[in-house]
Amino acid sequence: MERACIYLTYMLINVIVNKAMDHLSTTFTALADPTRRAILARLARSSATVGELAAPFSISAPAISRHLKVLEQAKLIRREVEAQKRRCHLRPEALKQAAEWMETYRQFWSERLDSLESYLDAVAAERRKSEKKE
């Protein structure tokens, strides 16, 4: 019975972790495209209609719609209908989750590089010390 409980706990944790990673994968996939990043940068200033978002790009309206669909599926934006226009809004929560994930690795590598710097400084000091004796 205990093994079954441990296995079920393991499987549940696995599902939760995989779901979180899937969301991160969707977010990073959406962020991988420069057009979508430009759209997000524009929406960071204020909400905008689809036409306003499309204006700076020399691509078709269906292409802009596909970009917006990817951003919406990644939960990076939300769209609403205002009269006959569709207005888009930035949803910063998804970006916050991605930033938190990256921060973990930034801290890890910062600590590793600080440790490497200390080691190299110690090696250089030891080398200078041994050169002075000669």
Instruction: Return the CATH number at 112.
Output: 1.10.10.10
Using left for φ > 0, alpha for ψ between -120 and 50, and beta otherwise, residue 75 falls in left
How high is the pLDDT of residue 3?
66
Of 8-12, 47-51, 89-93, which gets the smallest average pLDDT?
8-12
Q: Using CA atoms, how far apart are residues 67 and 131, in angstroms rounded to an integer?
A: 62
How high is the pLDDT of residue 2?
63
Structural domain count of the chain: 1
The pTM score is: 0.68
Q: Using CA atoms, how far apart are residues 91 and 41, in angstroms rounded to an integer?
A: 12
* Domain of 75, in residue numbers: 2-133
